[in-house]
Each structure stands twice: as structure tokens, then as C-alpha cells.
Chain A
Amino acid sequence: MKESVPPRPDSLISRRAFLRRTGGAGLAASLLTSSSFLTRFSRADTAQSYTGSLVLITQTGASPDKALPKLLEAYQKAHPGIEVKVVQYPEEKFVALYTAAQAAGEQVDVLMLNGQDLRRYATSNALTSLDDVSFKTRFLPEALDTFTIDGKLWGFPSGALGGFIVFVNKAILQKFNLQLPATYDDLKSIAAVLHKNGIAAFTHPGKIIYMWPVWFFTTFAQTSNNRSIERTIEILSGKGKFTDPDVVQGLDLVFQFGRDKMFSQSVLGLDFGNAQTELLTGKACFYLFHDSITKPMLDAKAPNFELDSMLMPNLVGKPIESQFPGGPGVVLSLPAKIDPSRKQAALDLIDFLTSDDSDRQSVELNGGAVPVNMAVPPAPISIYTKEKADISKLTIYLDWFYPPEITKVLQEGLQAGIVGRTTAEALGKNLQATLDRLASGGYKFAT
């Protein structure tokens, strides 16, 4: 038989109700105040509770990353039970090998990408968005903007901002009483003197086809009146064309270097090592390449070699700024298909590798003009100091915006044009035809 409860005066509440309300309020208060602690604790607990291996895929380029092995060793000491396996792919084969790894279902937890590849993978839904990650405030905003596509952040920069400057073997200039060139005509005069003495003006790893576009990015920065990024976005969005005069002029300027025999005779047969050797051994005077080889070249201590640098001279004869193509060194990302049990541990690893301490160590060992972490000073090397002073003239590599098909046509066309097998007009038409074909197949540029 159900027990009847005596009626309660309205001014009083039951003990049970009181306990329920105060208990609920207390719990809410404690949750609010300790949520961050709990989150951190649970994150740490999750990251710490993961034991096993994490696979980091990275790429090898013209100069090795001296900091990464030390950083990973420190990380593993701090996180016993976690083993970080590094898989290195050669830079020029990265896309091919990573595609094969994905198709084979291999474990991939953290990607250390070339910025050019980030857009490709982000727009293919192959990456995890990192918008909600808390430590993104440590980076330079310019460095983060590069990796924001369609309003979402897809990767964190590592190392330093830097780009393709013109390295100069000053010893050669001094030997023939030559000054640093300020215009294209100066370059031609210098080249004439050097040729008489069996020295090339420019060396370049022409065999590595993906190095050619950097020349176009350099010339187009001038022919577009320093609006190369805006013009590129216009073209890819359909508001401009690759056959526009500034694009064709930019392409033709690159071919002009070939027509005027500015490059080494064997430019199309040179790889990274050969090209660098030509500069170090005095077979060439100038080398348009990434500033990451500054330290290795200085460390080589080659005889009769004095390293200096400059930006590309004014090639167009009008009042423009000499800009140089570049970007943040590498970008750390999470693959979309990462196993959920390893995701937090992978994020933790990225947090460690992009911390101020890690960036400081990376810049110290690898060099770098402008570290991507706001709190980290640059390496004390004169070439980097010079580059840092010019960092406002850095423009992001244009092929970070191109679809791969456009990049391929540009690479092959530039290589062909250098040896006179095509013209700037023909290459412009070919690029535009490729873009038109992609657009008719559904391609839309993602801003």
C-alpha cells in the first residue's frame, strides 16, 4: 500500500530537493572552474596513456633537417612508451610515395609536408582540420594564412619563413672586378665576361623539373607589377588568363635567360648536388635557390669561394620591387584517416615539434631568416639578416595555388622553353587550355 506524504507548507522545500539543488549547483560550479584542468588532464592522460608507435612521414630535400632527429629523441625521452618512426621520402618523389603508402593502408600519423602539397591534400579531404587546436597562437599570422584554405586551418608551419634568393660567389666577381648587377643588362655584361673565362652566369638543377617554376615566380612578380598572387588568384578564378601580357612577358623573361646563354651549358642535366658543386667550385657565379642551403654551403668551406646573396635584379626596367618566392619551410598536418586512438598523441607530437624551444633549435641548426614562431629570434648569419630585412618582399610560391595539372604543364613548358623548344605565347596558351579543361571538368579554385 502506497504511503501517503503529508502536505508541505509552500515556504519550505524538502531536504531531498535542497540537496538536489545545492548539489547540482556545486557540481556545475566545479565543472566550470576545473574544465580546463580536466581537459588538460584528460588530454595529457590520453596522450600519455597511448603507448606504441607514431609514424611521421617527412621529405628529404637539398639540405637535411639536422634538428628533427634531436627533437624526436627528446620527445621520446619525455614520452616513454611512444616510439616515433620516421619515414623519409625524397622531396621530388614525395607525392608518388605517399600516394602508394595511402593506397597500401600504411600507418601515417603525422605528415611533414611541403607547403605546395598541403593545398592538394586539403582540397582532396585527405587532411584533418586543425581549427580547434589551442597552440596556434604561437605562430606568425602570415605563416598561418598560407595554410588556411576555404576558411579552415590545415597545418602548422615549422622552421622559418624563407625563400629563393640569388646566391653569389663573390670571389668570382672580385676576381674580374665586377659589381653586383642591378639590371638585366648588367647581368648580360657580367655573363659575357664570365663566358670568356669558361664560367657560367647561373647554375640551376634543371634536371629536377619542379625547380623551374621558381624562375617564373621571380619574373612574374616583376611583370605583374608586384601583384603576382592577386593575378594568380584572378587567373585561377577565371577573371584573368594565362595568355595575358604580364604572364607571357614573365614566361618570356625566363626563356630570355636561356636565349642569352645565362645558364650552364649542361643545365638540363644538373641535379641538386651538381648545381651546388658548380657554384662552390667556381664554374658558375649565381644560383637562384632556397636559403636553406646557406649553412651547408658555408660549412663546405670551399676554396676560392665567398658566399653572398642578392635579390633578382630589376629585369623589366620599370619602378617595381624585386620580390622573391618563398614560404614557411615545412608544414605539419594530420591525415584525415588517422586512427582515433592515436590522434591525440599525434597532436601532442605536433605541439612539441612546433613549440618555441623546438623552433629555436631548428633555426639554430638549420638556419632560417624569419622563424615562424613569434618568440624565436633568427639565426645570426649575415645572409639571413639580409633576407630578414627583405622579408616583406617575400611572395608565396604560386604553385601552392595551382592544381597539379597546371604545375606540370608549367614545369615541362619552362624546361622546353629554356632550350628553345617552345615560346612564351605557346606555353601561355597551353596553360590556359589546361585550366579551361579542368574548369569544364568541375574544377573551382578554393580561396
Chain B
Amino acid sequence: MNGRARVLARRKPVCITDMPQRSTQPVLRSENHGSRGRDPSRPPPIKSAVASSSRKKWKAALKPFIWLAPALLLLCGLTYLPISLEFILSFFSADGFAPPKWIGLENYLAAFHDADFWGSLVNNAWYAVWTVTGKLSLSLLVATLLNRKIRGRALLRSIFFLPVVLSFVAVGIIWTLIYNFDYGIINVTLNTLGLGWLKGDWLGSPETAFGAVVLVDLWKWTGFHVVIYLAGLQSIPSDLQEAAALDGAGPWQRFWRITFPLLKPFTAINALLATLGSLSVFDLVYVMTQGGPVKATDVVMIEVYNQAFQFNRLGYAAAMSSIMLVLIVLVSVTLLRSFGRETLSRR
């Protein structure tokens, strides 16, 4: 048998019933794949079938990005572009009046030798420690209490969330008045109760100013973290608690062995958000103390603001901001890793 015959012999016999049936309906020109007049009921040639399938794959892959494009444009334009420009500015000496001058890494070297910058970094770190710890513990406590069936629960939840929606400036001004030494409600109340010896210059004393600002931060943001914990508590199946109770576990045991571990993803989210907020704090401190007295509440963003807008050292301020950005990213990554990938993917 010759080669051709062998090929022909290998071919599968075609059965008439395998042939695609011709449509009895009239076929529109557009459905007929153009003007070639090819029978649309027959499969297209192999080459165009591959191309068509490839185009479909690309379209399917591109589709999400097309929908995401407006948001991505905004994100790039309002976030990544300014960050990139700021990073470039950090290599220049710029005062906002004369053209910027390239100075390389001088701004970064100056920041590493700047005692005020390091002092503000230490303050910021302590600020983060106190506010994150405070927010997590307070919000968990409040959320646990608000998760019970108590009268007025909805109203109480709203009350706890109310400070979150107030503006930073309004909160700062209100609390500055509350802390006023002569007329503030705290000292006036202490006087009235015969506890005048406890009066303090809360924002004017270097010993108490830091704590006073931390307290306001906790007051403002705890409600936000309560909401996240509440969502977590409500996602825990109640039969787990019931089963544990039936087995004789007390309330504390149930909380510690069942509730708290199951809240780990929510704790991770709360911890991350609280940390990010505390490391980038500015408005509250600026309105209440402007970093004083005697730099007791001086944080990195206040230093950045002063360098940029008091001393017209825009490049130096950009360098400090870039250093802070790197630190924040490192802290966030470390935090996320410490909670573990499984914890976060569980949600």
C-alpha cells in the first residue's frame, strides 16, 4: 500500500449523520461570516478558529481591567503619581520659589542625622503602641458587650460610632476646650467635686499632653473598630458557644478558647488599620498641640509639615516622608506575616 493509501486508510470514515445539518432557516449575511457566502453551519476553517479563540481569551482577560480602569486611573493619578513625584523631589533642594536643585542623597543623610526627626519617630512609635493596644482592647470589650441582647443595643452602637464621623478638626477643637485649665469641663468638674488637687494643664504640660492626645484618638476611633469586631462576632456560629456551654465551659473559657481565636482575621484587620492610622497621624496633633509643648507630642508628620511649610525645605520634607513610607510598609508587611496567610484568607 502506498503512503497516500495509508493516510486515506487511517482517516476515520465520515458518517452522513455526523455532518452538521444545514439550517432550513434563511441565514442573515452577518451571520454568514461576511460576504464570502460560506455556510455558517459548517465549522470555520482551523486557522480562523484558533485566532477567534485567542481573541476571545484576550477579551475575557481584558474585561476586568476595562471595568477597573476608572478606579485605577484615579488611584494612579491621586496616589501613585504624587508619591512618585514626592520621591523624585526628595533628591532635590527645593524651597518653592527658586527652581529645584539636584543634591542626590543629601536630604536622606540630613534626616538620618536630624535629632528632631528621630525624636518625632520615637514619639510616633509610642503613639502607635498606645493607640493600637488601646483601640484593640477597648473595641473588643465594647463589641463583646454590644453583641449581647440588651435593650437599646442599636442606639448604643450608634453612640459609639458617632465620634468616627466627626471631623478631626472639630474633635481637636472640642477636646482642646474640654482640656482647658481654667474653664475646661474636666477641671471644672474636679473642682466641683472637691478634687481640685487633681487638676492639670492637660495639653500644656509636657508630662500629660501626650496621654491627652492619645485619649482623644482612642475616643474618636474605637467605634470604628467596634463595628469590625461586631461583624466578626456575628459571624461566629452560635451553636459552637452552645455546645461549649453544654460541655461545661464557663464564659471566660468560651471567649478565650472559641471566640477570640475565631476573631483572629478581624483582629488582623483592626491591628493593621490602627497601626497605619497611628503612624500617619497629623491632624489631631496639629489642631490640639502642634507638636508641643516642648515637642512632647511631636510626630513625624508634624516635622514633615514644619520642614515643608515653615522652613520651605520641600525636598527635605519629601525625604522624611519617603523614609516614613518605607517604615510603614515594613511594619504592615511584618504585621500581616505575623498573623499568618491562613488567618487572612479565611475571610
Residues of A in contact with B (beta carbons under 8 Å apart) = 93, 95-97, 99-100, 102-103, 121, 124-126, 206-207, 209, 264-270, 274, 277-278, 283, 336, 404-405, 408, 412, 415-416, 419, 421
Give me 19 A-to-B residue pairs in the complex whose CB atoms sit less than 8 angstroms apart, sorted by A's number: A93-B309, A102-B97, A207-B203, A207-B289, A207-B290, A207-B293, A268-B201, A268-B204, A268-B206, A268-B292, A268-B294, A269-B202, A274-B182, A336-B97, A404-B312, A408-B311, A415-B293, A416-B294, A419-B206
Q: How far is the CB of A147 from chain B (nearest CB, A)?
A: 19
Separation of A408 and B96 alpha carbons in the complex (Å)? 20
Verify if B181 is at the interface (C-beta below 8 Å from A). Answer: yes
Q: How far is the CB of B236 from chain A (nearest CB, A)?
A: 46
Q: Which residues of B contact A102 (CB under 8 A)?
A: 96-97
Separation of A421 and B292 alpha carbons in the complex (Å)? 13
Name, among B180, B206, B305, B309, the residue most crowded by chain A CB atoms within 10 Å (CB to CB): B309
Name, among A100, A269, A274, the residue most crowded by chain B CB atoms within 10 Å (CB to CB): A269
Verify if B83 is at the interface (C-beta below 8 Å from A). Answer: no
In contact, A265 and B181 (Cβ under 8 angstroms)? yes
In contact, B204 and A206 (Cβ under 8 angstroms)? yes
Separation of A269 and B292 alpha carbons in the complex (Å)? 9
Separation of A267 and B295 alpha carbons in the complex (Å)? 15
Separation of A126 and B98 alpha carbons in the complex (Å)? 8
In contact, A95 and B309 (Cβ under 8 angstroms)? yes
In contact, A124 and B182 (Cβ under 8 angstroms)? no
Separation of A63 and B59 alpha carbons in the complex (Å)? 66
Q: How far is the CB of A68 from chain B (nearest CB, A)?
A: 25
Verify if B205 is at the interface (C-beta below 8 Å from A). Answer: yes
In contact, A126 and B97 (Cβ under 8 angstroms)? yes
Verify if B338 is at the interface (C-beta below 8 Å from A). Answer: no
| Additional pairs, 18, CB under 8 Å, beyond known A207-B289, A266-B182 | A93-B309, A99-B308, A99-B309, A103-B96, A121-B97, A124-B98, A206-B204, A207-B292, A207-B293, A264-B181, A266-B181, A267-B204, A269-B202, A269-B293, A270-B204, A336-B97, A416-B294, A421-B294
Verify if B310 is at the interface (C-beta below 8 Å from A). Answer: yes
In contact, B204 and A207 (Cβ under 8 angstroms)? yes
In contact, A268 and B96 (Cβ under 8 angstroms)? no
B207 (CB) vs chain A CBs: closest residue:
A419
Q: Which residues of B contact A269 (CB under 8 A)?
A: 179-181, 201-205, 293
Q: Of B202, B205, B290, B312, which contacts A99 at CB under 8 A?
A: B312
Given contacts A124-B97, A268-B204, A268-B205, contact A274 B311 (CB under 8 A): no
Q: Which residues of B contact A100 (CB under 8 A)?
A: 309
Verify if B226 is at the interface (C-beta below 8 Å from A). Answer: no
In contact, A412 and B295 (Cβ under 8 angstroms)? yes
Verify if B86 is at the interface (C-beta below 8 Å from A). Answer: no
In contact, B290 and A209 (Cβ under 8 angstroms)? yes
In contact, A404 and B310 (Cβ under 8 angstroms)? yes
In contact, A415 and B294 (Cβ under 8 angstroms)? yes
The B181-235 residues at the A interface (CB cut-off 8 A) are 181-182, 201-206
B208 (CB) vs chain A CBs: closest residue:
A269
Residues of B in contact with A (beta carbons under 8 Å apart) = 95-98, 179-182, 201-206, 289-290, 292-295, 305-306, 308-312, 314
Separation of A377 and B51 alpha carbons in the complex (Å)? 92
In contact, A96 and B309 (Cβ under 8 angstroms)? yes
B181 (CB) vs chain A CBs: closest residue:
A266
Q: Which residues of A contact B96 (CB under 8 A)?
A: 99, 102-103
A102 (CB) vs chain B CBs: closest residue:
B96
Name, among B95, B202, B293, the residue most crowded by chain A CB atoms within 10 Å (CB to CB): B293
In contact, B201 and A419 (Cβ under 8 angstroms)? no
Q: Which residues of B contact A207 (CB under 8 A)?
A: 203-204, 289-290, 292-293
B291 (CB) vs chain A CBs: closest residue:
A209
A411 (CB) vs chain B CBs: closest residue:
B292
Q: Which residues of A contact B204 (CB under 8 A)?
A: 206-207, 266-270
Separation of A416 and B295 alpha carbons in the complex (Å)? 9
Separation of A207 and B310 alpha carbons in the complex (Å)? 17
In contact, B182 and A283 (Cβ under 8 angstroms)? yes
Q: Which residues of B contact A270 (CB under 8 A)?
A: 204
Given contacts A102-B97, A125-B98, A274-B182, contact A412 B311 (CB under 8 A): no
A274 (CB) vs chain B CBs: closest residue:
B180
Q: How far is the CB of A158 from chain B (nearest CB, A)?
A: 24
Separation of A100 and B317 alpha carbons in the complex (Å)? 13
Separation of A96 and B98 alpha carbons in the complex (Å)? 16
Q: Which residues of B contact A264 (CB under 8 A)?
A: 181
A413 (CB) vs chain B CBs: closest residue:
B294
Separation of A206 and B209 alpha carbons in the complex (Å)? 14
Q: Which residues of A contact B305 (CB under 8 A)?
A: 96
Name, among A102, A264, A267, A419, the residue most crowded by chain B CB atoms within 10 Å (CB to CB): A419
Separation of A372 and B4 alpha carbons in the complex (Å)? 114
In contact, B310 and A95 (Cβ under 8 angstroms)? yes
Separation of A93 and B295 alpha carbons in the complex (Å)? 18
Q: How far is the CB of B117 from chain A (nearest CB, A)?
A: 14
Q: Of B182, B202, B293, which contacts A206 at CB under 8 A?
A: B293
Separation of A361 and B93 alpha carbons in the complex (Å)? 44
Q: Which residues of A contact B290 (CB under 8 A)?
A: 207, 209
Q: How far is the CB of A255 from chain B (nearest CB, A)?
A: 13
Q: How far is the CB of A352 from chain B (nearest CB, A)?
A: 27
A264 (CB) vs chain B CBs: closest residue:
B181
Separation of A269 and B310 alpha carbons in the complex (Å)? 21
Q: Of A95, A283, A419, which contacts B293 at CB under 8 A?
A: A419
B309 (CB) vs chain A CBs: closest residue:
A96
In contact, B294 and A408 (Cβ under 8 angstroms)? no
Q: How far is the CB of A283 from chain B (nearest CB, A)?
A: 6
Q: How far is the CB of A402 from chain B (nearest CB, A)?
A: 12
